[in-house]
C-alpha cells in the first residue's frame, strides 16, 4: 500500500459508517454589569465554556464541589467540561451572580 493510503481508507470507512466524531464546541458567556449572560446554557461533555469579562471588576466562575475559574477584569478564562450533569456556579466576589450549565454526554 502506498504511504498515506491507510489514512485515506480509515477516513473513508469512518465517513461511510457514520462514525464521524462529534466536534467539541466553545460556548461564550459574557459578564457585563455583574451578570452572566446567558445565565443558563446547554453543553456537552468536552465542550469549553469561555467567560468573557467586560466589567472593570474581577470575577470568578465557581462551581459548587467543582472548578473555580478566576476571570480578571476585561479578560477571559475558560474550562473544559468533563462530566455530565447540571452545574450551578456563581462569582465568589459577587455571590448574587449566578449561572447554570446543563451538561449532556457526547
In the predicted model, residues of the chain with pLDDT beneath 50 are 5-17, 20
- pLDDT value of position 46: 97
- pLDDT value of position 19: 54
Cis-peptide into 38, omega within 30 deg: yes
SS3 58: coil
- pLDDT value of position 65: 83
Cell numbers for 75: 479578560
Where are the domains positioned within the chain? 22-104
- pLDDT value of position 13: 38
Query: What is the tens place of the pLDDT at every residue in 43-65?
Result: 999 999 999 999 999 999 999 88
- pLDDT value of position 10: 39
Q: Which residues contact 30 (CB under 8 A, 6 or more apart)?
A: 36, 37, 51, 52, 54
The domain made up of 22-104 has a fold known as Immunoglobulin-like (2.60.40)
Neighbours of 66 (CB within 10 A): 16
Amino acid at each position: 500500500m502506498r504511504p498515506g493510503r491507510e489514512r485515506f481508507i480509515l477516513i473513508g470507512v469512518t465517513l461511510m459508517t457514520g462514525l464521524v466524531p462529534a466536534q467539541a464546541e466553545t460556548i461564550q458567556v459574557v459578564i457585563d454589569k455583574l451578570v452572566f449572560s446567558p445565565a443558563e446554557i446547554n453543553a456537552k461533555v468536552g465542550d469549553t465554556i469561555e467567560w468573557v469579562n467586560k466589567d472593570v471588576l474581577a470575577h470568578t466562575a465557581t462551581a459548587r464541589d467543582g472548578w473555580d475559574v478566576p476571570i480578571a477584569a476585561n479578560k477571559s478564562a475558560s474550562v473544559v467540561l468533563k462530566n455530565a450533569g447540571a452545574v450551578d456556579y456563581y462569582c465568589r466576589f459577587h455571590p448574587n451572580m449566578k449561572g447554570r450549565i446543563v451538561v449532556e454526554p457526547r
